[in-house]
Amino acid sequence: MATEAAQQLIAALTRRRASGAVVSADEVVAALDRQLDAWNVTRVVLADDPLLEQLGVADALGGDRREVLTWPPRLGARELLGLEGPAATCGVSVSVAAVAPRGTLMLAASTGQGRALDAAAAYHVSLVPDDRLHDSLAGALGQVYREGPPPSALSLVSAPSRTSDIEKISTLGAHGALGLHALVIAG
Amino acid sequence: MSERPVSYEDVTGTLRERATEALGDEQLRTNLRASAGSWAAGRKRMDEQYPFQEMREKGREIRTRAVAELPQLLDQLEENLTATGGVVYRAADAAAACRYVVELAQREGADLVAKSKSMATEEIKLNEALEEAGLRVVETDLGEWIIQLAGQHPSHIVAPAVHLNREEVADLFEQESGGPVENEREALVAHARQRLREVFATAQIGVSGVNLAVAESGTICVVENEGNGRLVTALPRIHVAVMGMERIVGSWEDAAHILELLPMAAIGDDAAGYVNLITGPRRPDETDGPEQFHLVIVDGGRSALRGGPFEEILNCIRCGACLYACPMWKSVGGQAYGSPYSGPIGAVLTPVLEGPHASSAGQLPHFSSLCGACHEACPVGIPIHDLLVKARGQATEQRPRSERVGMWLWSRLWSNPVAYGIGRRLARAGARVLGRRGWIERLPGPAGAWTSQRDVPTTWPPKPPSS
Ligand code: SF4
C-alpha cells in the first residue's frame, strides 16, 4: 500500500517536471549524494530535523566537494538567495505530510526548518517517510491543523518553480527552486 | 462609492473604442487564442481525470455556505489570527485599506515594498497609494512585473501579461536593466529571477493577496507557481496580506476542496506549485518569517451585496476560467475592460462593487453574448450570464428618462398580441424595403447604432453576403 502511494506521489511530481525515488533508510544518503552531484550543488542547507540527524546526513554529505550548513544557516538574505556565495545551493527539508495522488509535499515552519529553506535555494530535496503519505489533501491538512497548534507557516510544494507568463509556455526557475526531488523513505 | 473606483482611472476612450482597437491588433489576438487554447486543453485533462461536475457542485455549496456565514467566519478568523500575534484591520473601502498600509510603511520607515500577485491590491490601487507616499513598489510575479515595466494594466486574473510576446518582454527588460537581454524564454525568466532577487533581499515589506482564509485556525492561503509568493511572505520584516472580505471558509475540509479546485480551473493542473499557508508572524523560536503580520480585510462594497440579487458573485474564487471561456474576452483581452477584473466576472463585479452610480463600468455588462460559456467553466457554478442580465437591468435604471420611457413603451406594445402582430407585419414590410439583397446593412434613426457593427439577415438561412 505504502509503496503504491509512494509511486503515485513520484508520478504526480514527475508530471510537473520534478523527480523522486523510493528508497530504504540505508539508501537515503547515497541517493541524496547522487542528486546533489547531478545538480552540481556546492552548498547544502539541511533542516535541523531529528530524521536527518538519525540518518547521519550532515556527516555523510560533507567533505571537500560541498559545504554543508544546518538551519538556521546564519547567512544573510543575499547569500541565502544565491546573490552572493555559491549559486548552486540546495535546501534539504523533511516533509511533515504529503498528498500522494496530487504530488504535494508539506513543509512545516519550525525552529529547525525555515519558511524560505526550500524556495530561496536553487534546488530542493525533501525527505518523506512513507507513513506520512495521505490519499487526500483534506486528510493531510486535517492531520497538521487538528493535531496540535498550527504551524506559523505550512508550505505545500508540488512542483519546481515555474511560470507561464511568457507566451503561456511553462518555464522552470522563476523565483523558487529550479529543481525539486522527493525521496520517499520506505518502511 | 469609494474614493478610488475599481475601474482604472487612466483608461482612455469608450469600451467600444477600446474593444475595436483590440480587435484590430493581430498579435494580441494570436496570443489570446494561444492562451485560451492551452487553458482549454488543461481543463479537458482535468475533466477526464476528475469528476469535475461533482466537485463543482460541492464547491458551490461550500462557497454559498461561507458567504451565508460570513460575519461569524470573519470574527473567528480575526480572533484566531490575533491570538498568534497577527494584526487584523477591517477596511470599509479602498481608501481606508490604502491608508492603513501607507501609514504602516511610514511608521516602520520602509522604502521598498515587494509584492506578489494580488487582485485585491489591484482593486484598491495600493501601488498607486504607496507610490504617491514616496515608496518604491516592485511587483515580483513575473507577469505582473512585465506589466509594471510596460506601464500597463493586467489583462487576465491569473496571466496578467498574456497579451505580450517575448520580443516585447525582452525590450522591457533591456530598458529596465540598461543591458542586452536575449529574447529566449529561459533567458528572460533567468534574467527576471536575478533582478528580482535583489528586491526580495532588501524589501522591508512584503505585500501579498489572499486566495482563501480559513477561519478555524486563523490561516491565509497564498496560491502561486513561481515561488515569489513564498519569498515575499518569508523574507521581508513585515508581511501585509490584503483580502477581499468574502474570500474565506470555515474549516480545513472546505479549504482543501477549494484549494483542489482552484488550480484545476485556473491552470488545468491538479496542484499549484506552491500553496503558502500562513498563520501569523514568525514564532519566538523561529529564525525566519516576518516579525509582523498584518491582514487587511477589504469590504469595498461587498457586504452590501449579501442578501441581494448579486450575492452569488461573492462565491467567486478568482480562478480566471470564465475569461478563457468567454468569446468576448478571447477576442479583445482584458485591457479593453478598463478594470482589474475583466471578462465575464469583471463585467459583473466591476459595476456592482462600484455601486449603481458607477460611470463607465455601467457599459461592461453589455459586453457579453450571454452564451453561458462562463457559467459552464466556473468551478463554483456561478450563473454569471444571469448576473450579467441583472447587471444590465441595473445599468438601464441609470439611463435617461426618455430612454427608459421608450423601453417601457416598447415592452408594453410587444406584450400585447394585437400590437405585436402589427409590429411584425410592419417589420416584415420594412425588411423588404431595407433588406432587398437579403441583408439589412443600415437601420434608420437611433436604431442605426445597432447596425453600425452588424448586418441583419432577412431570410433564413441567410444568403451569402454579396461582396
Ligand atoms: S466567476 Fe467562476 S470562473 Fe470566473 S473567476 Fe470567478 S470562480 Fe473563476
CATH of the domain at B183: 3.40.50.10420
Q: Is the CB of residue B242 below 6 angstroms from any atom belonging to ligand 1? A: no
pLDDT (tens digit per residue) in B136-147: 999 999 999 999
Q: Is the pLDDT of residue A84 over 80?
A: yes
In a domain, B317, yes or no: no
pLDDT (tens digit per residue) in A23-52: 999 999 999 999 999 999 999 999 999 999
Residue nearest to atom 4 of ligand 1 (CA): B322
Q: Is the pLDDT of residue B2 over 50?
A: no
Phi, psi torsion values for B446, nearest 5 degrees: -65, -25
Residue nearest to atom 2 of ligand 1 (CA): B378
The residues spanned by each domain of chain A are 4-160+177-186
| Mean pLDDT over each residue of chain B, to the nearest integer | 91
* Pairwise CA distance, residues B212 & B245, whole Å: 10
Point out the domain boundary residue: B303, B337, B360. Answer: B303
In a domain, B54, yes or no: yes
pLDDT of A3 = 86
How far does residue B377's CA lie from ligand 1's centre (Å)? 8
Question: Collapsing DSSP states into helix, strand and coil, what is residue A111?
Answer: coil
pLDDT of B429 = 86
The burial class, CB within 10 Å (0-12 / 13-18 / 19+), for B8 is: middle
Q: Which residues contact A40 (CB under 8 A, 6 or more apart)?
A: A88
Q: Do B162 and A168 touch (CB under 8 A)?
A: yes
> Do residues B259 and B371 share a domain?
no
> Do residues B409 and B392 share a domain?
no
> Do residues B118 and B184 share a domain?
yes
Q: Is the CB of residue B377 below 6 angstroms from any atom belonging to ligand 1? A: yes
pLDDT of B93 = 96
A56 — contact with chain B (CB < 8 Å)? no
Q: Is the pLDDT of residue B465 over 80?
A: no
* Pairwise CA distance, residues B41 & B244, whole Å: 30
Q: Do B143 and A163 touch (CB under 8 A)?
A: yes
Band (B1; pLDDT cuts 50, 70, 90): very low
- C-alpha distances in Å from residue B242, one per residue of B228, B262, B306, B452: 16, 19, 20, 44
User: What percent of chain A has a predicted confidence (pLDDT) above 90?
Assistant: 83
Phi, psi torsion values for B5, nearest 5 degrees: -65, 160
> Do residues B382 and B421 share a domain?
no
pLDDT of B310 = 96
Provide the H-helix boundaries in B50-69.
Answer: 52-68
- C-alpha distances in Å from residue B193, one per residue of A2, B136, B289: 38, 19, 21
Distance to chain A for B232, nearest Cα, Å: 10
pLDDT (tens digit per residue) in B145-193: 999 999 888 777 667 787 788 889 999 999 999 999 999 999 999 999 9
β strands within chain A, DSSP E? 19-24, 43-46, 67-70, 89-94, 97-99, 104-108, 123-129, 133-134, 153-157, 162-163, 171-172, 179-186
Is the distance from CB of B196 to CB of A119 less than 8 angstroms? no
* Pairwise CA distance, residues B102 & B127, whole Å: 10
**Grid coordinates representing B331?**
477576442
State the CB neighbour count (10 A cutoff) for residue B152: 15
> Do residues B258 and B376 share a domain?
no
pLDDT (tens digit per residue) in B269-300: 999 999 999 999 999 999 999 999 999 999 99
Averaged pLDDT, A125-153: 95
Point out the domain boundary residue: B243, B268, B303. Answer: B303
Band (B239; pLDDT cuts 50, 70, 90): very high
DSSP secondary structure string for all residues of B318-347: ---HHHHH-HHHHHH-SGGG-SSS-HHHHH
State the CB neighbour count (10 A cutoff) for residue B421: 10
Domain A4-160+177-186 sits in which CATH superfamily? Answer: NagB/RpiA/CoA transferase-like (3.40.50.10420)
Is the distance from CB of B308 to CB of B302 less than 8 angstroms? no
Q: Is the CB of residue B205 below 6 angstroms from any atom belonging to ligand 1? A: no
List the domain range (segments joined by +) for residue B437.
402-457
> Do residues B389 and B409 share a domain?
no
Q: Do B277 and A154 touch (CB under 8 A)?
A: yes
For chain A, the distance separating the N- and C-terminal CA atoms, rounded to the nearest angstrom, is 11
| C-alpha neighbours within 13 Å on the C-beta side of residue B193 | 27
* Pairwise CA distance, residues B454 & B428, whole Å: 19
> Do residues B208 and B283 share a domain?
yes
In a domain, B466, yes or no: no
Q: Which residues contact B371 (CB under 8 A, 6 or more apart)?
A: B327, B385
> Do residues B115 and B170 share a domain?
yes
The amino acid at B65: R
In a domain, B308, yes or no: no
Q: Is the pLDDT of residue B4 over 70?
A: no
Q: Is the pLDDT of residue B461 over 90?
A: no
* Pairwise CA distance, residues B258 & B63, whole Å: 9
The burial class, CB within 10 Å (0-12 / 13-18 / 19+), for B309 is: middle
A16 — contact with chain B (CB < 8 Å)? yes
DSSP secondary structure string for all residues of A131-171: GGEESSHHHHHHHHHHSSSPPSEEEEE-SSSEE-TTTT--E
Give chain B's domain count: 3
* Pairwise CA distance, residues A35 & A126, whole Å: 12
In a domain, B33, yes or no: yes
Q: Is the pLDDT of residue B268 over 60?
A: yes
> Do residues B282 and B415 share a domain?
no
In a domain, B316, yes or no: no
Distance to chain B for A18, nearest Cα, Å: 10
Q: How far is CA B186 from the centre of its chain?
A: 28
